[in-house]
Amino acid sequence: MSDQPAKIGDNWPNLIGKRLPRVDAVEKVNGDAKYAGDFNLTGQLWMKILRSPYPHAKIISIDASKALEMPGVKAVVTAEDFNGWSWGWGPTTRDETPLADEKVRYFAEAVAAVAAEDEETAEEACALINVVYEELPGIFDAEEAMRDGAPQVHDYVDNNISWDFHMDYGDVEEGFAEADFVREDRFETGRTLTGFLEPPAAVAQIDSSGITIYAAKQSPYFIYRQLASCFKLPLSKVRVIQPYVGGGFGGTKNDSTAGDFCAVMLAKKTKRPVKFVYNMEEVLTTCRRRHNMIVDCKMGMKKDGSITAVQTKVIADGGAFTAIGPLTMYLTGIMTTLPYKLDHYKHDAYRVFTNHPVSAAMRGHGVTHTRFAAEIQMEKMADELGIDPVEVRMKNAIEAPHETINGITVDTCGLKEGLEIVSSSSAWKDKDQNKKDGPVVRGIGISGTSHLGGARQRGHQSCAAIVRLCEDGTVNYLTGASDAGQGSDTVLVQLVAEELGLTMEDVTIQRVDTAVTPVDNGSYGSRVTILAGQAAQKAAQEVKRQLAEAAANIWEVDAGKILFNDRTVFVDGDPDKSMSFKKLTQIACYSETGAVIMGKGFSEYGLEKMDFEKGYGNPGVNYSFTSQLSAVDVDIETGMVKVKDFLIAHDCGRPLHPVNVEAQTQGAASQGLGQALYEDFKMREGRTMNSTMVNYMMPLSTEHPDFELHDIITDDPHGPFGAKEASEGSIISTPPSIVSAIHDATGIWFTKLPVTPEKIVLALKEKKENG
Amino acid sequence: MEKITCNFVVNGQAEEISIPPNRTLLHMLREDLMFHGVREGCSHGECGSCNVILDGKLVNACLILAVEADGMEILTVEGMVDGDNLHPIQQAFVDESGMQCGACTTGMILSTKNLLDANPDPSREEIKDALAGNFCRCTGYAKIFESVEAAAESMKGTQS
């Protein structure tokens, strides 16, 4: 970015790059942090949702009279109350209603909701609602769902194609003809849970002043628009207040839930506030999950390891509704042209309706599936050509500046540097010597991947900030960006304080309240630091400009000579002319024009033309690169895999808050570990069989390895202080590096995630039988 | 449902409260006594976010009926603070950024207290084992392990 603050003294920057505590740390350790479920409003009722016992059925009738007779029950809502209103990501795919209308399309879909004096009464009343269903044949396999004659989940599309997306760049046939070796493989990725620990919750009220809702949202401006549309209110009368958020990771908390709409509707009916908290079983059976995808990947390679062409076909199980699925499909294709040189690429993606719960975004959105496939296929082919896994990556890795065939522009790239770090480690160099005998075999694998930062969608892209100077020299900073736990509040405060030459304690961040904070796209696609960060800087610069003018008047110098550092304001080159930030603030507020000093700023990226339909142009502001080594121990008798070490070299441009960057890399790798080895919803006829945290397995403390992390500094020109993505890179790089390590240990390439002990034992048995 | 009158000492404060026999200790603490630092996650005893210390023992408050705790002493994360001063374990979690979203943090801190009370100088493996009942989706645990080690270090020679 062009307008970075001027370098002041040897210690500049004061805050950026320093290991500072998080701004929310104290409240999170002493119990003060309030989450949506911690709010209670006077006179509130409790809501419970009645859910479908069938994955696909017509609703013949709903009789709630017995429930309404029950003492303590105040109201019931059904689809009728919403009068056919529906929501979804795009104008042509608004196919989801708050409550099932005419038919249910997945098991546990919301059918009715009850408000009662307490939670138990609401739950008991749900059981008294008599719903008559006529079961319909269900469809639970995406490939079968595409065939003629398959049960149709929706009438508005044929063959259950929820969305399709196609890219065709260069000439793949020509590319395959140039190749010495062409491979085709089928890969599959699992259905995974986002895994936030705080279930969706809200307390809502509505009266003549509008809607007020305290809701657990990662991107509160989604529900803000959806509630306005659903309840036919101007946006100015929808107030979403953002408490602390107990994890997001995409999907559910970037969207509305049935509970949100029902709580407001029940509040409208009863004229009392209505509260709900989903239980974890509702989370596991009804919340948005990562798409299960089949990825058919075809790659051409020359004898020297250079890739000549890639062709991918994705079939994604979308579940019952579209949600944000079109963006998922776009991302499966657009990012496959990174991080390896590619002149010919063709991609066909199909998102398919089934009678499963809805699939949507999750950390590493869309990218993780196709990158896993291409990464493993590349290494498999190199293996067959006798080329080392590092060599094949170095051969194909892009270097900055680079423009992909689909118009993605990369100005900084630390991939080769990362691969050098990983491959010069003793774990890699001595991997053959370290092979153990006996039932537990050591394997080492690597990967090299990329992710976007500063994601954009169609439509509104910008982030904004308001910085209000208080008369005592402290600052209120208002942002529409929300921190679901990733630490963005800390980084944004850091940026504002850095600009103004203040300390972290001088700046207080206002969590999102749509009545007060500026509108924002949301916290997804690693966009907050880059875009909300740029807006924060600009707003702080605007405050600084006004203060500098006041100081320039006092000292009769040019405003450009006024500098701000360490809570002090001074004239450049004239150390006698200096005063505290607080004193200047007071002079500016009281003695000068008396103007209230406020600054506003907007981000500037994501405004240039892109082609969403063809997958051309930048999907983000800039691009991170992650190189990873994973060491695993595989017990060849039981198939158990234990990850022993992660070595991750990540190019996030520049870590603004190094502790947060480390923590994000560690956390995303942890989720990648789950995705690689354990996590998958077991489905049977539309039912989620592992619907509790006891039997849906996620990595616990004992499953975590030691981390060795390396920052690669590339100072991207487009991010604040050079920053790029830091929160998703390692969820892309972890699964292929683990699968590569399992191959190193067992000699078997696994192509279906998760690689469970059962799969390993069976594959080893098959390998032994086939000699 | 007929309510039963129970007596507890919560964070050093005596409480007398009438509660239905099917109310969990978790819901009694959260909904009746407003200790929101006790979090509800899985409700199945798997995630540890509702951890409290009951008569010196670490428990999942979601798995215990409040009436079972009649006459007992309960420590929640709120009770670890001494005036404006954080407990050294809480301070270590602040210093080492041993949290992200915070949903698991309070339970994690009580598990840490339970560990360090019994074993003031735990190894990394002992820390992993002690926290195996506390689920965290955000951190990959590394900064949590470092927080526990920092807490042990800062508490050396002192009583927790």
Cα Rg of chain B, angstroms: 16
Query: What is the DSSP secondary-structure string of chain B?
Result: ---EEEEEEETTEEEEEEE-TT-BHHHIIIIIS--TTS--S-SSSSS-TTEEEETTEEEEGGGSBGGGGTT-EEE-GGGG-BTTBPPHHHHHHHHTT--SS-TTHHHHHHHHHHHHHH-SS--HHHHHHHTTT---SSSTTHHHHHHHHHHHHHTTTS--
pLDDT of residue A93: 95
Nearest to B46 among A37, A244, A693 (CB): A693
B105-118 helix and B142-154 helix, angle to the nearest 10 degrees = 40
CATH code for the domain of A116:
3.90.1170.50
pLDDT of residue A461: 77
pLDDT of residue A562: 96
Is the confidence at residue A30, as pLDDT, over 50? yes
Is the confidence at residue A80, as pLDDT, over 60? yes
Q: Does any domain span residue A7?
A: no
Of A449-458, A683-692, B70-79, give the lowest mean pLDDT range. A449-458
Distance from the B114 Cα atom to the nearest Cα atom in chain A, whole angstroms: 16
Q: Does any domain span residue A15?
A: no
A232 and A113 in a single domain? The answer is yes
> Chain B contact for A71, CB < 8 A?
no
Q: What is the mean pLDDT of residues A433-461?
A: 88
pLDDT of residue A610: 83
pLDDT of residue A1: 41
Domain B88-154 classified CATH 1.10.3720.10? no
Residue in A closest to B96 by C-alpha? A21
* Predicted confidence band of residue A607 (pLDDT cuts 50, 70, 90): confident
A485 and A435 in a single domain? The answer is no
Beta bridge partners, A349, equal: A165, A314
Average pLDDT, chain A: 95
Within A139-296, where are the H helices?
Answer: 142-145, 172-178, 220-230, 258-270, 280-286
A262 and A297 in a single domain? The answer is no
> Chain B contact for A486, CB < 8 A?
yes
Specify the number of domains making up chain A.
Answer: 3
Nearest to A247 among B35, B101, B140 (CB): B101
Q: What is the mean pLDDT of residues A27-52?
A: 97
Name the pairing type of β-strands A103-104 and A130-135.
unpaired
pLDDT of residue A593: 67
Two tokens, residue A112:
């009715």
Look-up of token digits 């953002």: A242
B4-78 topology per CATH: Ubiquitin-like (UB roll) (3.10.20)
User: By the 8 A CB rule, do A632 and A646 touch?
Assistant: no
For A136, the 3-state DSSP assignment is coil
pLDDT of residue A435: 80
Name the pairing type of β-strands A568-571 and A574-580.
antiparallel
Is the confidence at residue A594, as pLDDT, over 80? no
The rounded distance, in Å, linking the Cα atoms of A650 and A642 is 23
Residue in B closest to A707 by C-alpha? B142
Name the pairing type of β-strands A45-51 and A110-116.
antiparallel
Whether residues B44 and A33 touch (CB distance < 8 A) is answered with: no
Q: What is the 3-state secondary structure (H, E, C) of A656-700?
A: CCHHHHHHHHHHHHHHHHHHHHCCCCCEECCEECCCCCCCCCCCC
Domain ranges, residue A574: 25-33+462-602
Cα Rg of chain A, angstroms: 27
Distances (CA, A) of A66 to A101, A110, A121, A561: 21, 19, 13, 76
The rounded distance, in Å, linking the Cα atoms of A351 and A330 is 11
Residues 6+ apart with CB under 8 A from A654: A17, A713, A714, A715, A716, A719, A721, A722, A723
pLDDT of residue A408: 97
Is the confidence at residue B136, as pLDDT, over 80? yes
Contacts of A33 in chain B (CB under 8 A): 102
> Chain B contact for A426, CB < 8 A?
no
Is the confidence at residue A207, as pLDDT, over 80? yes
Q: Does any domain span residue A17?
A: no
A530 and A569 in a single domain? The answer is yes
User: By the 8 A CB rule, do A463 and A479 touch?
Assistant: yes
Two tokens, residue A160:
């259950």
Look-up of token digits 């009804």: A286
For A527, the 3-state DSSP assignment is coil
* Predicted confidence band of residue B160 (pLDDT cuts 50, 70, 90): very low
Two tokens, residue A354:
């089934």
Of A285-289, A518-522, A742-746, give the lowest mean pLDDT range. A518-522
A29 and A114 in a single domain? The answer is no
A360 and A278 in a single domain? The answer is no
The rounded distance, in Å, linking the Cα atoms of B46 and A695 is 10
Residue in A closest to B100 by C-alpha? A485
pLDDT of residue A729: 97
Q: Does any domain span residue A115?
A: yes
Whether residues B132 and A249 touch (CB distance < 8 A) is answered with: no
Name the amino acid, one letter, at A718: H
Whether residues B39 and A246 touch (CB distance < 8 A) is answered with: yes
Q: Give me the half-sphere count of Cα atoms (radius 13 Å) on the Cβ side of residue A412.
A: 26
Is the confidence at residue B1, as pLDDT, over 80? no
A280 and A232 in a single domain? The answer is yes
Q: What is the mean pLDDT of residues A285-289?
A: 98
Is the confidence at residue A6, as pLDDT, over 60? no
Distances (CA, A) of A136 to A57, A60, A105, A353: 5, 12, 10, 15
pLDDT of residue A220: 96
Nearest to A701 among B101, B128, B137 (CB): B128
pLDDT of residue A7: 55
> Chain B contact for A658, CB < 8 A?
no
Contacts of B77 in chain A (CB under 8 A): 29-31
Residues 6+ apart with CB under 8 A from A740: A375, A376, A379, A389, A445, A446, A447, A630
String of b and e for B54-68 (b: at least 16 CB within 10 Å)? beeebbbbbebbbbe
A717 and A667 in a single domain? The answer is yes
Q: Give me the half-sphere count of Cα atoms (radius 13 Å) on the Cβ side of residue A572.
A: 13
Distance from the A23 Cα atom to the nearest Cα atom in chain B, whole angstroms: 9
A442 and A469 in a single domain? The answer is no
Contacts of B138 in chain A (CB under 8 A): 247, 485-486, 663, 667
Q: Does any domain span residue A675?
A: yes
Of A337-341, A587-591, A690-694, B38-42, give the lowest mean pLDDT range. A587-591
> Chain B contact for A280, CB < 8 A?
yes
Whether residues A195 and B137 touch (CB distance < 8 A) is answered with: yes
Q: Does any domain span residue A14?
A: no
The rounded distance, in Å, linking the Cα atoms of A243 and A253 is 13
A305 and A431 in a single domain? The answer is yes
Distance from the B157 Cα atom to the nearest Cα atom in chain A, whole angstroms: 23
Q: Does any domain span residue A304?
A: yes
From the CB of residue B6, how many other CB atoms can be counted at a distance below 10 Å?
20
pLDDT of residue B157: 73
Contacts with B, A 705-734, CB within 8 Å:
706-707
Residue spans in chain B of domains classed CATH 1.10.150.120: 88-154
pLDDT of residue A3: 45
Please say which residue of A568, A602, A636 terminates a domain.
Answer: A602
Q: What is the mean pLDDT of residues A101-124?
A: 97
A351 and A374 in a single domain? The answer is yes
Mind listing the pLDDT tens digit for each residue in A175-185? 999 999 999 99
Distance in angstroms between the alpha carbons of the first and the last residue of chain B: 41
For A565, the 3-state DSSP assignment is strand
> Chain B contact for A169, CB < 8 A?
no
Is the confidence at residue B10, as pLDDT, over 60? yes
A716 and A755 in a single domain? The answer is yes
Best interface-test mutation with B: which of A29, A39, A46 has the largest number of B CBs within 10 A?
A29
Two tokens, residue A693:
């945290």
Mind listing the pLDDT tens digit for each residue in A523-535? 999 999 999 999 9
Nearest to B139 among A245, A277, A667 (CB): A667
Best interface-test mutation with A: which of B3, B36, B75, B137 has the largest number of A CBs within 10 A?
B137
Q: What angle do CA A690, A692, A698 make, to 5 degrees?
A: 80
Beta bridge partners, A242, equal: none
CATH code for the domain of A485:
3.30.365.10
How far does Cα A718 stand from its chain's mean position?
A: 21
Nearest to B131 among A25, A485, A701 (CB): A701
Whether residues A247 and B94 touch (CB distance < 8 A) is answered with: no
User: By the 8 A CB rule, do A311 and A126 touch?
Assistant: no
Q: Does any domain span residue A272?
A: yes
Is the confidence at residue A459, as pLDDT, over 70? no
Residue spans in chain B of domains classed CATH 3.10.20.30: 4-78
